[in-house]
A = this chain, B = another copy of it.
Amino acid sequence: MELPPLSWGIMGAGRVCHDFVQALKSIPHAAKVKTVGCRELERSVEFADQHGIPNRVGSYEDVAKDPEVDICYIGMLHPFHYENAVTALQNGKHVLVEKPSTCSECDTKALVRLAQEKGLFLMEGMWTRFFPAVEKAQELVKSGTIGKVVAVHSDFGFNGGDVANYPDHIFYNLNLGGGGLFYVAPYPVAAAMQFLGPAFPSRIAAAGVKDKLTGVDLSGAISLHFEGKGIASLTYNIEAETPEETIIIGTEGRIKLLSPAHCPTAIEVTTKAIGRGNTTTIRHDFPLPDPPASVDASGGFNYPNSNGFQFEAAAIHKCIRGGRTSSDQYTPDEMLAVMHVLEECRTQLKIDSVE
């Protein structure tokens, strides 16, 4: 017997919320959007009409209070994640909060504690984990295909300048969480955490570039050491497009999540024989399913591979319908460890104020 779909309330009406709602249309057995709300009622109305959402409200709080909603998708700018996730939990809703979960380790810890107290499901939206390509990589690593994992290299960067109006774009607004560390770095940090964690790294060492005018960080290189495991070499960039790959390096081979590695549809598995360069590489493809016609009709997607949000949503459906308050594929401990790394990097990069 198929379990009833989760009823989603969408907090926010921006580009990510749009893509998330579009992806849910591919899994009607698991997800139904009941409500959308943001601070301007007319934007909620417009969003609701576009996507056929029955309830539309003029505040985030009203989403949390809607009795028809099982789970809130927290999709507004990250400086507002914490307060709205708290509101959702306080109102008895499960929560999927976009990356980064909050803007500080302390806030994320409080969120995790509150969800536990309330017995509610909580996850940061690290949708990467739920792509079949990533699940395959995880499975190969666990089965020992590449030996012992000793390093993870991961990068994510794009040229913010070529799509945004500098310095007015949100990317460059320090007070609204601008900068690459919080917008982009969660992905490579979470990639390292997946294959070398979950744990707080024993060493975190970062170097980065700050924008002289706006004070936001434009790029960073993060070196991590996980005790007894290995190293991670991570970069993020909002000045330039990087290859965007995640490479998991083991003593007997390596696995590459091909670009776009934060939402990949293909991996390359390289296994090695004795001697440098004696390797064999096999590629595995996991193409995204075609979205239903209603997705095209309501404006398609804003970002690459957004149809892949459905994998995350379907997994959450299983967790919640199975009585779970977290997912094994991205646990509250990982969410905390990722935030710990981001916060330490922010300190090292001195991103607290405009200079």
Residue ranges of A at the interface with B (Cβ–Cβ < 8 Å): 147, 150-151, 153, 155, 157-159, 161-163, 201, 203-209, 218-225, 230-235, 237, 239-243, 247, 249-254, 256, 259-260, 272, 274-277, 279, 304, 348
Contact = CB atoms under 8 A, between A and B. Distances in A.
Contacts of A208: 225, 231
A159 B222 contact: no
B225 A223 contact: no
B203 A153 contact: no
Contacts of A250: 240
Nearest to A228: B209
Given A159-B272, A161-B251, A205-B223, 9 more contacts: A151-B221, A151-B235, A151-B240, A158-B276, A163-B276, A207-B224, A207-B231, A219-B231, A242-B249
B260 A277 contact: yes
A289 to B, nearest CB: 20
A219 B151 contact: yes
Contacts of A304: 276-277
24 contacts: A150-B218, A151-B157, A151-B221, A153-B235, A153-B243, A159-B251, A161-B251, A163-B275, A205-B205, A206-B223, A207-B231, A220-B231, A221-B223, A221-B224, A221-B232, A222-B223, A233-B234, A240-B250, A241-B272, A241-B276, A241-B277, A242-B249, A242-B254, A260-B277
A150 B238 CA distance: 10
A211 B150 CA distance: 12
Contacts of A243: 153, 247, 254, 256
Contacts of A162: 272, 274-275
Contacts of A276: 158-159, 163, 241, 304
Contacts of A207: 201, 203-205, 223-225, 231
Nearest to A210: B225
A279 to B, nearest CB: 7
B150 A233 contact: no
A241 B279 contact: yes
A231 B240 contact: no
Contacts of A252: 159
